Amino acid sequence: MKASCCIEMIYTEYPFLERIARAADAGFDAVEFWNWDTKDLAAIKTTLDKAGIGVAAFQSNLGGTLIHPDHRDSFVAGIQKSLRKAQEMNCPSMFLLTDELGDDRSVRFQFPELSQEEKYASVLEGMKMLAPLAEEAGVTLVLEPLNVHVDHPGYFCSRSQMGLELVREVNSPNVKLLYDIYHMQVMEGNVIHNLTNNLDVIGHVHVADVPGRHEPGTGELNYANIFRALEKAGYDGYVGFEFEPTGPSEEIAAQALKLLKG
């Protein structure tokens, strides 16, 4: 398994670009971040090359939503632009959300006039439109279910089962699931079973403990067992550490990496 560091949450004691070198020095295989459109990608690429580290993933969404059919075309156009940026950055994957999140991370537009079935159909159609674009770009879109109980009220795809069904219906090698252990523990638990039985369509894993979204070992999840189960099941993709450290980033990141890599 490869380790990726979310530099939106870890090493925040330092300026953004400096976090890349900090992650590389700690032994991470790659970094990841959220929105690209507010960042200097050229400077990030130069810094990555200098540090000898890559970018595992960043956000594809540029606003808009998949859940309403009237918004699909503009949403897809935004993702197409993001895919080109991923190619420029030699980035293998991009996070995909079903909804647009506001500054407080809640969903901006929920469209109560639409039924759950109508929203699902719209998301599925949009993902089917995105699949050939991702395949052509050579980038994998990883759909991320998020929890609605703590962090993202109103988010449509809030359980792994829905995400897995959508990905399997799209049936593309370049559309997979991002299984965020923190979010799915909040929503449903049963983490090891759900992970290891669906690795054929899981393209990225995110890590944080529950409650609090802090580093492994601060909450109720047994990450040593989770990592062992993933390794035994043959997962060889990225494990993205996306947590808020409870102490100095260097110390906490080193502990988290040791738990994954030994």
Name the fold adopted by 15-246: TIM Barrel (3.20.20)
Percent of the chain with pLDDT over 70: 100
* Alpha-carbon 81 to chain mean position: 18
CB under 8 Å, gap of 24 or more: what pairs does 81-86 form? 82/36, 83/133, 83/134, 83/137, 83/139, 84/137, 85/36, 85/41, 86/58, 86/60, 86/137, 86/139
84: which 2 tokens? 């080109």
Model confidence at 262: pLDDT above 90: no
Query: pLDDT tens, 68-101?
Result: 999 999 999 999 999 999 999 999 999 999 999 9
Report pLDDT for 91. 99
Domain positions in the chain: 15-246
Q: Say what the pLDDT of residue 111 is.
A: 94
Q: What is the mean pLDDT of residues 207-224?
A: 98
**Mean pLDDT, the chain, as a whole number?**
97
pTM higher than 0.85 = yes
pLDDT at 217: 97
Percentage of the chain surpassing pLDDT 90?
A: 96
Q: Is 242 within 8 Å of 9 (Cβ atoms)?
A: yes
Using one digit for the tens of pLDDT, what is the confidence trace for 111-170? Answer: 999 999 999 999 999 999 999 999 999 999 999 999 999 999 999 999 999 999 999 999
Omega of the bond leading into 132 within 30 degrees of 0 (cis): no
Is 20 strand, coil or helix? Answer: helix
